[in-house]
Amino acid sequence: MLLLWVLLLFSGLVLLLTPLPSWAQNDVQNPSEETPVVDRHTVQVGETLSAIALRYALTLEELMAYNGITDPDEIVVGQVLTLPPGSVLQPEPTPLPVHEVQAGETLSQIA
């Protein structure tokens, strides 16, 4: 029984101490390398303050407070917004496919 216990313990140690092959290692990058940390954003045509906040993982209230904005509808194109330290630009979401419904199509046909 003692021999079985020693063998189990030894095999567990061998597994723990054996490094993973390079193909099995997780290729995790430093988040700061793949997503840029930014401190300012220049308002572009069509942007809203809430959309800008979302792009930087902020709440609308946080972005407004940090910039002293009282009315989110009063931003203008070219206005430079200051972002809190450590703000990270979130990747653009992948657009969803669009289907234009044709005359005579039913929901079950489209699905």
Look at the alpha carbons of 104, 107, 108, 111 in this order and tell me if their dihedral is positive or negative: positive
Residue-wise pLDDT for 10-65, tens only, equals 555 545 555 655 555 554 445 445 556 778 999 999 999 999 999 999 999 999 99
Q: Residue 34: its pLDDT value, please?
A: 57
Range of the domain at 80: 34-87
Q: Residue 22: its pLDDT value, please?
A: 56
The strand ranges marked E within the chain are 40-42, 80-82
What is the spatial distance between Cα 111 and Cα 102, in angstroms, rounded to a whole number?
13
Q: Residue 63: its pLDDT value, please?
A: 94
Whether 75 maps to a domain, the answer reads yes
Whether 26 maps to a domain, the answer reads no
Nearest to 110 by CA among 98, 92, 93: 98
- Contact in structure between 87 and 39 (CB atoms under 8 Å): yes
Q: Residue 90: its pLDDT value, please?
A: 82
Residue-wise pLDDT for 55-106, tens only, equals 999 999 999 999 999 999 999 999 999 999 888 888 877 788 888 899 999 9
Count of domains for the chain: 1
Whether 19 maps to a domain, the answer reads no
Whether 20 maps to a domain, the answer reads no
Whether 100 maps to a domain, the answer reads no
CATH number at residue 45: 3.10.350.10
What is the spatial distance between Cα 107 and Cα 91, in angstroms, rounded to a whole number?
32
